[in-house]
Amino acid sequence: MENAVPRLPVVAFDPLIGDLQAYVVGGAVRDALLGLPPGDRDWVVVGATPEQMMHKGFIPVGDDFPVFLHPETKEEYALARTERKSGRGYKGFTFYTGQDVTLEDDLGRRDLTINAIAQTPDGQLVDPLNGSADIQRRVLRHIGEAFCEDPVRLLRLARFAARFTHFSIAPETLTLARRLVTEGEVDVLVPERVWREVSRGLMSDAPYRMFDVLAETGALQRVMSGLVFDGVTRRRLQCAAQHHLSLPSRAALMCFSSGRPEAILLSVKAPSQCVDYARLLPVVCSSLGIAQTADDYLTLIERCDGLRKPERFLDLIEAACCTDTPLSDAQADLRRSWEARLNCVRAVNGGLVARQYQGQPQAIKEAVRQARLEALAGM
């Protein structure tokens, strides 16, 4: 069962799992082989029952199948399982977690070979599907025909393409991914799951690759109807990644060329912050290139509620630099200049001005704005 592949660092001895057939699996093993920083570890336990796990103090948390939290480390331990297609979509599966399920059975139900490698606590790899060879070849490859039974696997494939920028996708894997579209499996994905994968892909080093894969397989318009993904959007997303922009900024840039950016994000139930950025980015871009006077500057700050949400306003300034808006300053210089204007406006003591016009709300509003304009003009 165990191939002659490199050993990984030994896991510190844990008496709770000393007599269990427990293996580190999935992303933690993959990333270690790639030399990436370690993330959360997930474990698979072979030959145990839920009762045995709870007797040892593990905390049950799984709804669909037995998953437990280690009482001290809080790492997840799942009983080895197999799955069988029983309906449409990513929830259309029945699971079996009997004590006769082997580690190879569990690894064989996973999506890609690079995610189907296990590690024993003493650092020995278990790699029956040659995932380590695909890591060396830098190839994303499906495990079996069951890949086209779960539409989430298409989203994950696209996300991994965005994260692992030097990996190619095996042609036969792309063929199965297209089947998920032509057979209608992607149509039953729930919006929350689409956003979960898209948001993670957006925060990768090459977010445009996720949308390349979705477009190439025909899935893009099925999961994000109305999204315009072309060479311009591709460049914007790469600019956002290069400048380490926030998720809301990247989401806004993703939708910038689309006719209804807010509607696209709402359709996948993106957070309201992302929707707000998508709504405001066109406002910022339409004003930045022409803003020349104190009134222009203050009007833009007001339209974006920059006084109450200064960080969002400055994020939008940076995001605008990744659009096609003709801007004279470099990104860092533009942010600094607008941050200085914003601080100048915020430094105006509105309360002091208001005391001069007690009981005159409209006069107060006009006087405070005038004081802010004078402050900007004096910069």
Q: Is position 191 within any domain?
A: no
In a domain, 361, yes or no: yes
Point out the least confidently predicted range of 15-19, 108-112, 221-225, 327-331. Answer: 327-331
Report pLDDT for 1.
Answer: 41
pLDDT tens per residue across span 115-135: 999 999 888 999 999 999 999
* pLDDT higher than threshold 80 for residue 196: yes
| Each residue's pLDDT tens digit, 340-356 | 999 999 999 988 888 88
User: For position 35, which CATH number holds?
Assistant: 3.30.460.10
Q: Does the model's pTM come out above 0.85? A: yes
> Does 23 reside within a domain?
yes
Q: Please say which residue of 137, 156, 186 terminates a domain.
A: 137
Q: How far apart are CA 162 and CA 156, in angstroms?
A: 10
Tens digit of each residue's pLDDT (9 = 90 or more) over 262-295 = 999 999 999 999 999 999 999 999 998 788 999 9
Domain termination residue (choose one: 83, 115, 137): 137
pLDDT at 78 (0 to 100): 95
- Is there a domain that residue 9 lies in? yes
Is residue 372 included in any domain, yes or no? yes
Residue 289 covered by a domain:
no
Looking at 92, 122, 137, which one is the last position of a domain? Answer: 137
Q: Is 326 exposed, middle or buried (0-12, 13-18, 19+ CB in 10 A)?
A: exposed
Question: What is the domain count for the chain?
Answer: 2
d(CA 162, CA 348) in angstroms, rounded, equals 45
| Structural domain includes residue 206 | no
- Percent of all residues in the chain with a pLDDT value above 90, rounded to a whole number: 74
Top mean-pLDDT range of 5-9, 89-93, 174-178, 353-357: 174-178
Q: Which domain holds residue 367?
A: 348-377
